[in-house]
Structure 1
Amino acid sequence: MKLIETAVKRPVGVIMIVLAIIALGVISLRNLAIDLFPEIDLPIAVVATSYPDASPQEVEKLVTEPMEGSLSTIQGVNTIQSQSQSGSSLVIIMFENGTNLDNALLEVRESVDGVKTFLPEGANDPSVLRFNPNQMPIMWVGLTGTDDKARLQSIAEDTIQPYFERQSGVASVSIEGGQERIIELELDRAKMNQYGITPQLIQQSLAGANQSASAGSVQKGDQNLQVRIAGDYTSVEDIEQSIIFSPQGAQLTVADVATLNDITQDSGNSLVNGNTALVFSVMKQSDGNTVEVSDNILSSIETLNKDLPEDIQLEVVVDTSDYIKESINSVMDNMIYGGLFALLILLLFLRSVRATIVIGVSIPIAIVSTFILLYFTGETLNILTMGGLALGIGMMVDSSIVILENIVSYRQKGASLIEAAKKGASELAPAVIASTTTTLVVFLPIVFVDGIASELFTPLALTIAFSLLASLVVAVTLVPMLSSKLLTKEKEKPYWFNRVLKKVTNGYGKILRKALHFRKTTITLTIVLIIGSIGLTPFIGTAFIPEGDQGQLTITVETPTGTTSEKNHQYAMDVNEHLEKYNDIIDVNYVTVSSGNSQDAVMTGGAAASYQIELVPASERDLTTDQVVSQLDEEFSSIAGAEITVQSLSSGAMSLGDPIQIQISGPESEVLEQLSDEVINAIATVDGIHNPTSSLSDTQPEMNIKVNRELAAQYGLTYQEIMQQVQMTFTGQTIMQYRESGDEINVKLVYPEEERSTINDLENVLIQNQQGTQIPLLTVADFEQVQSAATITRQNQQRQVNVSAQIIDRPLGNVATDVENVLADMSFPEDYEFSFGGQTEEMETAFFDLSLALILSIFLVYAVMAVQFENFLHPFIIMFSLPTTVIGVIVGLFVTGQPLSITAFIGIIMLAGIVVNNAIILVDYINILRRRGMVRLEAIVEAGKSRLRPILMTTLTTILAMVPLGLGIGEGAEMQQPMAITVIFGLGVSSLFTLLLIPVVYTLFDGLSERIKRLFTRKKEKEA
Structure 2
Amino acid sequence: ALLGSMVAIIVIMLFLRNIRMTAISLVSIPMSLLIAMIALKLTDVSLNILTLGALTVAIGRVIDDSIVVIENIYRRLNRADEKLTGDALIVSATKEVFVPIMSSTFVTIVVFAPLAFVTGSVGQMFRPFAYAVTFSLLASLLISITIVPVLGSIFFRKGLKKKSQKQLGVVGTHYQKVLNWSLNHKWLVILLSTLLLIGSIFLGAMKIGTSFISTGEDKFMALTYTAKPGETEENVLKSADQVQKYLQKNPHVKNIQYSVGGQSPIDPTGSTNNMALMVEYDSDTPHFEEEPEKVLNDIEKYHHKGEWKQLDMGTGGTTNALEVQVTGPSTQAIESTVKMIEKSMKDVKGLTNVKSDLTETYEEYQIKVNPDQASEYGVTASQLAMLLNQNVPDTTVSEVKAQKQTYDVVVKHDKSTDWTQQKMENTQIPTPLGSNVTLDDIATIEKTKTPNKLVKEGGDYTSTVSAQISGDDVGAISQNVMQKLKHIETPSHVKTSLGGTNEDMQAAFSQLMIAMVAAVITVYLVLVLTFKGALAPFTILFSLPYIAIGVVIALILTGETLSVPSMIGVLMLIGIVVTNAIVFIDRVTQNEKQGMPMKEALLEAGGTRIRPILMTAIATIGALIPLLFGQDSSILISKGLAATVIGGLMSSTILTLIVVPVIYEILFTIKRKLIK
Asked whether 1:537 is paired with 2:205, we answer yes
TM-aligned CA distance change 1:773 to 1:958, over 3 Å: same
- 2:106 maps to a residue whose letter is T
Cα deviation 1:230-279 (Å, max 9, x = unaligned):
xxxxxxxxxxxxxxxxxxxxxxxxxxxxxxxxxxxxxxxxxxxxxxxxxx
Asked whether 1:526 is paired with 2:193, we answer yes
Out of 616, 622, 643, the position equivalent to 1:960 is 622
Asked whether 1:337 is paired with 2:6, we answer no
Cα deviation 1:751-797 (Å, max 9, x = unaligned):
985xx654333323333323333333222222222211122223456
- 2:640 maps to a residue whose letter is P
Offset of residue 963 of structure 1 = 1.5
Offset of residue 370 of structure 1 = 0.9
- 1:356 maps to a residue whose letter is T
Which residue matches 1:875? 537
Asked whether 1:429 is paired with 2:98, we answer yes
In 1, the alpha carbon distance for the partners of 2:100 and 2:33 equals 23
Which residue matches 2:182? 515
Kept in 2, the 8 Å contact 1:730–1:751? The answer is no
TM-aligned CA distance change 1:480 to 1:749, over 3 Å: closer
Asked whether 1:897 is paired with 2:565, we answer no
Out of 595, 599, 602, the position equivalent to 1:940 is 602
- 2:20 maps to a residue whose letter is R
Question: What is the DSSP-based 3-state SS (H/G/I as helix, E as strand, rest coil) of the residue aligned with 1:791?
Answer: coil
Kept in 1, the 8 Å contact 2:116–2:123? The answer is yes
TM-aligned CA distance change 1:752 to 1:996, over 3 Å: closer
In 2, the alpha carbon distance for the partners of 1:708 and 1:622 equals 63
Question: What is the DSSP-based 3-state SS (H/G/I as helix, E as strand, rest coil) of the residue aligned with 1:772?
Answer: coil
Which residue matches 2:449? 787
Out of 459, 479, 490, the position equivalent to 2:148 is 479
Question: What is the DSSP-based 3-state SS (H/G/I as helix, E as strand, rest coil) of the residue aligned with 1:387?
Answer: helix
Which residue matches 2:660? 998
In 1, the alpha carbon distance for the partners of 2:22 and 2:591 equals 30
In 2, the alpha carbon distance for the partners of 1:370 and 1:636 equals 41
In 1, the alpha carbon distance for the partners of 2:292 and 2:52 equals 35
Kept in 2, the 8 Å contact 1:398–1:954? The answer is yes
Cα deviation 1:503-542 (Å, max 9, x = unaligned):
4333333322332222222111111111111112232122
Which residue matches 1:818? 480
Asked whether 1:449 is paired with 2:118, we answer yes
Offset of residue 351 of structure 1 = 1.7
Higher strand fraction (1 or 2): 1
TM-aligned CA distance change 1:757 to 1:867, over 3 Å: closer
Out of 599, 619, 623, the position equivalent to 2:284 is 623
Query: Which one has the largest radius of gyration?
Result: 1
Which residue matches 1:858? 520
Offset of residue 887 of structure 1 = 0.7
Kept in 2, the 8 Å contact 1:729–1:751? The answer is no
In 2, the alpha carbon distance for the partners of 1:736 and 1:935 equals 86
Offset of residue 361 of structure 1 = 1.8
Which residue matches 2:54? 388
TM-aligned CA distance change 1:731 to 1:992, over 3 Å: closer
In 2, the alpha carbon distance for the partners of 1:344 and 1:390 equals 17
Out of 650, 662, 675, the position equivalent to 1:988 is 650
Offset of residue 667 of structure 1 = 2.0
Out of 523, 526, 550, the position equivalent to 1:888 is 550
- 2:196 maps to a residue whose letter is L
Kept in 2, the 8 Å contact 1:676–1:694? The answer is yes
Question: What is the DSSP-based 3-state SS (H/G/I as helix, E as strand, rest coil) of the residue aligned with 2:27?
Answer: helix
In 1, the alpha carbon distance for the partners of 2:408 and 2:474 equals 50
Offset of residue 417 of structure 1 = 3.3
Kept in 2, the 8 Å contact 1:545–1:975? The answer is no
Offset of residue 674 of structure 1 = 2.5
Contiguous gaps of at least 5 residues in structure 1: 1-334, 556-577, 591-611, 638-645, 738-742, 1015-1024
Kept in 2, the 8 Å contact 1:586–1:613? The answer is no
In 2, the alpha carbon distance for the partners of 1:851 and 1:632 equals 33
Contiguous gaps of at least 5 residues in structure 2: 225-245, 259-275, 298-307, 400-406
Question: What is the DSSP-based 3-state SS (H/G/I as helix, E as strand, rest coil) of the residue aligned with 1:551?
Answer: strand
Asked whether 1:681 is paired with 2:340, we answer no
In 2, the alpha carbon distance for the partners of 1:685 and 1:782 equals 43
1:821-840 matches, within 5 Å, as: 821-840=483-502
In 2, the alpha carbon distance for the partners of 1:437 and 1:712 equals 79
In 2, the alpha carbon distance for the partners of 1:866 and 1:857 equals 14
In 2, the alpha carbon distance for the partners of 1:579 and 1:856 equals 47
Offset of residue 397 of structure 1 = 1.0
Which residue matches 2:359? 697
1:6-405 matches, within 5 Å, as: 335-405=1-71
Asked whether 1:489 is paired with 2:131, we answer no
Offset of residue 854 of structure 1 = 1.0
Out of 193, 202, 214, the position equivalent to 1:546 is 214
In 2, the alpha carbon distance for the partners of 1:402 and 1:547 equals 36
User: Identity over aligned residues, as a percent?
Assistant: 32
- 2:349 maps to a residue whose letter is D
TM-aligned CA distance change 1:954 to 1:779, over 3 Å: same
Question: What is the DSSP-based 3-state SS (H/G/I as helix, E as strand, rest coil) of the residue aligned with 2:63?
Answer: helix
TM-aligned CA distance change 1:797 to 1:935, over 3 Å: same
Cα deviation 1:871-898 (Å, max 9, x = unaligned):
2222111111111111111221122111
TM-aligned CA distance change 1:746 to 1:802, over 3 Å: closer
- 1:355 maps to a residue whose letter is M
Offset of residue 817 of structure 1 = 2.1
Cα deviation 1:293-352 (Å, max 9, x = unaligned):
xxxxxxxxxxxxxxxxxxxxxxxxxxxxxxxxxxxxxxxxxx111122112222222222
1:404-419 matches, within 5 Å, as: 404-413=70-79, 415-419=84-88
- Out of 396-405 and 969-978, give the one that drifted further: 969-978
Offset of residue 996 of structure 1 = 1.0
Asked whether 1:917 is paired with 2:587, we answer no
Q: TM-score, normalised by structure 1?
A: 0.56
- 1:482 maps to a residue whose letter is L
In 2, the alpha carbon distance for the partners of 1:746 and 1:517 equals 87
Offset of residue 464 of structure 1 = 1.1
Kept in 2, the 8 Å contact 1:884–1:993? The answer is yes
- 1:982 maps to a residue whose letter is T
What is the alpha-carbon root mean square deviation over aligned residues? 3.6
Kept in 2, the 8 Å contact 1:542–1:900? The answer is yes
TM-aligned CA distance change 1:418 to 1:745, over 3 Å: closer
Which residue matches 2:317? 655
Q: TM-score, normalised by structure 2?
A: 0.83
Out of 458, 462, 484, the position equivalent to 2:127 is 458
Cα deviation 1:451-508 (Å, max 9, x = unaligned):
22211112211221111111111111111111111235344799xxx99x94433333
In 2, the alpha carbon distance for the partners of 1:632 and 1:882 equals 42
- 2:159 maps to a residue whose letter is K
Q: May I ask how many residue pairs the two structures share in their alignment? A: 617
Per chain length, whose mean CA-contact separation is higher, i.e. which structure has more relative contact order (CA < 8 Å, sep 6+)? Answer: 2
Kept in 2, the 8 Å contact 1:683–1:819? The answer is yes
TM-aligned CA distance change 1:429 to 1:632, over 3 Å: closer
Asked whether 1:505 is paired with 2:176, we answer no
Kept in 2, the 8 Å contact 1:550–1:651? The answer is no
TM-aligned CA distance change 1:665 to 1:522, over 3 Å: same
Out of 375, 393, 406, the position equivalent to 1:713 is 375
Offset of residue 438 of structure 1 = 1.7
Which residue matches 1:285? none
Kept in 1, the 8 Å contact 2:328–2:493? The answer is yes
